[in-house]
Amino acid sequence: MLLVVLAVVVSLVVLAVAAVALIARDLAGDLEREDVFGGLTEDERPEQEPTEALDLLVLGSDGREGAGEAYETGENADVAGERADTTLLVHISADRESARVVSLPRDSWVALPSCRGTDGAQLPARQGQLNAAFLEGGLPCAVRTVESLTGVRIDHTAVVDFAGFRDMVDALGGVPVCLDEPFRPRMAGVDLPAGRSVLQGPEALEFVRARYGVGDGTDTDRIERQKQVIASMLDRALSRQLLVRPDRLVRFLSAATRNLRVDKDLDLRELAVSLRGIDLSQVALTTVPLDPDPGPEFAEGGELFGRLAWDEPAAQALFAELRADRAPAPPAPAPATSSDPSAVPAEPAPTASAATAAETACR
């Protein structure tokens, strides 16, 4: 069950643009805080890079407690605890003029480091699914895992749940999506026609969670839907429609903070002010590079079928760019004399503004 958890970043940007410091102060009391980094030893963590860039680990929780009980049906009836159904590495540049959002699929098959479990026992280093780290060891283990895989030192964390995402969409008055074909997944209460639809909170939640009967049924298909909804949320949150409606703005910010769990040192107002220079065109949305041919064990019928393998050289090159706070290199143009019709330049990472423009063309 996927959540579009960049909504927390949306709320921070809205705070900065709207200059509602008083609202931010009042709503910050709704935040649930956790000592995420206290149990992590320095010798296990990446060194702090010599830049003022910020790196946040943003997770979408599929926990079934509280509002999540409404989703405890069918195959989910016996799910206990909470998994990181969405994992985003959010890099904010040192000059606070751009951001890169890297999705790390929950089904990634990776090297999980040793860390302390939620029961206090030490978990051994092992191969496993990425979201097992959060399930078995909570936020500290999730941080330890992402840091060990990427070499990026995490500065802050945020977790949002089902209710948070749903309520933020409703506070925005819904989010528009543009579909090339009808969206009729199995085991999901949503049926959308081709073309433009405006999704309310419950529909948007089903749209980003649906897995069966749509696309190839993998995590990567759901991530593409996440990106579309993220772009719509960013556009609506930063539009005059929200900023000139104080009632809607307060509802949105309240929904964001009321269902948000952050590390104990995150200063919401300070971060919001630092983000005021970021334009939609400077928010790049991407997914960690995946191995297109990871081996027979990942093929249908293999023991790791349904899991995803990273393209390690490409992934590590991406993480090196983040650590150095370096913008991605522009795609190399195809040779003019190439006779291969498939030799075309690689497309740059989509931006929130590009996705919004695509939605506008759908109207």
| Better pLDDT: 357 or 270 | 270
Residue 330: the pLDDT is 64
Banded model confidence at residue 259, pLDDT cuts 50, 70, 90: confident
Identify whether the C-beta of residue 70 lies closer than 8 Å to the C-beta of residue 55: no
**How, if at all, do strands 109-112 and 126-129 pair?**
antiparallel
* 117-143 average pLDDT score: 95
**Hey, what domains does the chain have and what are their CATH numbers?**
7-325+346-361 (3.40.630.190)
Secondary structure of residue 287 in the 3-state scheme: strand
Gap between the Cα atoms of 267 and 41, Å rounded: 23
Residue 22: the pLDDT is 45
Angle between helices 246-258 and 162-171 in degrees, nearest 10: 170
Q: Is the pLDDT of residue 361 over 80?
A: no
Identify whether the C-beta of residue 146 lies closer than 8 Å to the C-beta of residue 152: yes
Banded model confidence at residue 349, pLDDT cuts 50, 70, 90: low
* 162-190 average pLDDT score: 84
Residue 224: the pLDDT is 81
Identify whether the C-beta of residue 75 lies closer than 8 Å to the C-beta of residue 89: no
Provide, rounded to the nearest whole percent, the portion of the chain with pLDDT above 70.
Answer: 70
Going by C-alpha positions, the residue among 132, 136, 87, 143 that lies closest to residue 116 is 136
H or E stretch at 11: helix 7-18
Residue 19: the pLDDT is 42
Gap between the Cα atoms of 234 and 201, Å rounded: 15
Banded model confidence at residue 188, pLDDT cuts 50, 70, 90: low
Q: Is the pLDDT of residue 338 over 60?
A: no
How buried is 344 (Cβ within 10 angstroms: 0-12 exposed, 13-18 middle, 19+ buried)? exposed
Report the chain's mean pLDDT, rounded to a whole number.
Answer: 78
Going by C-alpha positions, the residue among 201, 200, 206, 160 that lies closest to residue 183 is 206
Residue 247: the pLDDT is 75
Going by C-alpha positions, the residue among 215, 317, 237 that lies closest to residue 283 is 237
Compute the C-alpha angle 328/332/336, nearest 5°: 165
Q: Is the pLDDT of residue 114 over 50?
A: yes
Provide, rounded to the nearest whole percent, the portion of the chain with pLDDT above 90.
Answer: 36
Identify whether the C-beta of residue 162 lies closer than 8 Å to the C-beta of residue 3: yes
* 219-245 average pLDDT score: 76
Residue 341: the pLDDT is 42
Q: Is the pLDDT of residue 166 over 60?
A: yes
Gap between the Cα atoms of 27 and 7, Å rounded: 16
Gap between the Cα atoms of 196 and 134, Å rounded: 36
Banded model confidence at residue 160, pLDDT cuts 50, 70, 90: confident
| Better pLDDT: 214 or 16 | 214
Per-state percent for the chain, helix, strand, coil, to nearest 5? 40, 20, 40
Give 116's contacts (C-beta < 8 A, 6+ positions apart). 39, 122, 123, 137, 140, 141
Integer CA distances (angstroms), 20 to 26, 52, 134, 164, 209, in order? 10, 25, 33, 20, 32
**Which of 19-33, 109-123, 150-164 shows the highest mean pLDDT?**
109-123
| Better pLDDT: 16 or 165 | 165
What's the pLDDT tens digit per position in 277-294? 777 778 888 899 999 999
Which sign does the torsion angle of CA 307, 312, 314, 318 carry? Answer: positive
| Better pLDDT: 219 or 127 | 127
Banded model confidence at residue 37, pLDDT cuts 50, 70, 90: very high
Q: Is the pLDDT of residue 13 over 70?
A: no
DSSP state of 304: T
| Better pLDDT: 198 or 50 | 198
DSSP state of 77: T
